[in-house]
Amino acid sequence: MIDLTGKTALVTGSSRGIGRACAVRLAEAGADVVINYVTSSREAENVAEEIAAMGRRVACVRADVGQEEDVEDMVAFVRDQFGQLDILVHNAATGGFRPLAATSQRHFDAAMHTNVLSLVHLLKAAASLLESADGRGKVVVLSSHGTHMALPMYGLIGGSKAALAALARHWALELGDRGVNVNVVEAGLVETDSTRRLPGAAEMFAGRASKTMMGERMLEATDVADCVLFLASSLSDLVQGQTLVVDGGSAIHI
């Protein structure tokens, strides 16, 4: 049983979907949780109420992780209100589903700021807190198969996720000897509010049954959260700069 009692976790983009599942799972394991959102305030409050009912300390912080000042203010809030940061789960992402031929400079800048540069902002601001964690500080970055697979209408997001995974490895190189683990969880197709908007989503979800090797069990947000929980715990202390794939085996065959 993983016990995160006494730990504080910040989960970006945690009002819905996989981010929400991660925040709840960390709280179930004993952690206090800071929920980050940009527009979904009601959903964030709902997550906070669920976590508070477990007896955990919880707070919601509105911050655009693509903006350095917002990130600095959010980390300052964590430092002032919680006094520590042991776990950082970076889930926030944007980009929209469109062909690369229809991608504008504005689309590119938004995706790269939110999905990639955000990790630079977050770890510049939070490194000192993570380094002073009781035990090793843990950073878990959420990614997808778009890092290495071509998916319809997913080029901009996939490209940004590939860059994000590379950044995570380099952060591991810079922070590893300073007491911080940085790893990536690469999730297969999970049905969320976001993925339901993927062009051809119905066909993609229907096709999961022939791709997975888990019988009738399909990948859920809670399965991804369980992998995040492992990487957020002391059980993963010797896992550094790696990508953990959770997809029921769907990506290893045609």
CA distance readout (Å), 116 to 72, 80, 197:
16, 26, 22
Torsion of CA 211, 242, 100, 188, to 10 degrees: 20
CA–centroid distance for 130 within its chain: 16
On whether the CB atoms of residues 181 and 136 are closer than 8 A, the answer is yes
**Which of the following is catalytic: 7, 124, 161, 211?**
161
On whether the CB atoms of residues 190 and 219 are closer than 8 A, the answer is yes
Q: Which of 87, 179, 175 is nearest to 138 (CA)?
A: 87
Q: In the annotation, is 154 catalytic?
A: yes
CA distance readout (Å), 49 to 7, 59, 88, 92:
19, 10, 20, 21
Tell me the C-alpha distance between 20 and 42, whole Å: 13
**Which of the following is catalytic: 7, 37, 138, 154?**
154
Tell me the C-alpha distance between 92 and 153, whole Å: 19
Q: Can you state the angle between helices 17-28 and 41-52, rounded to 10 degrees?
A: 20
Evaluate the CA torsion angle 64, 70, 73, 75 in order and state its sign. Answer: positive
* Side-chain half-sphere CA neighbours of 127 within 13 A: 13
Give catalytic residues, as residue numbers: 154, 161
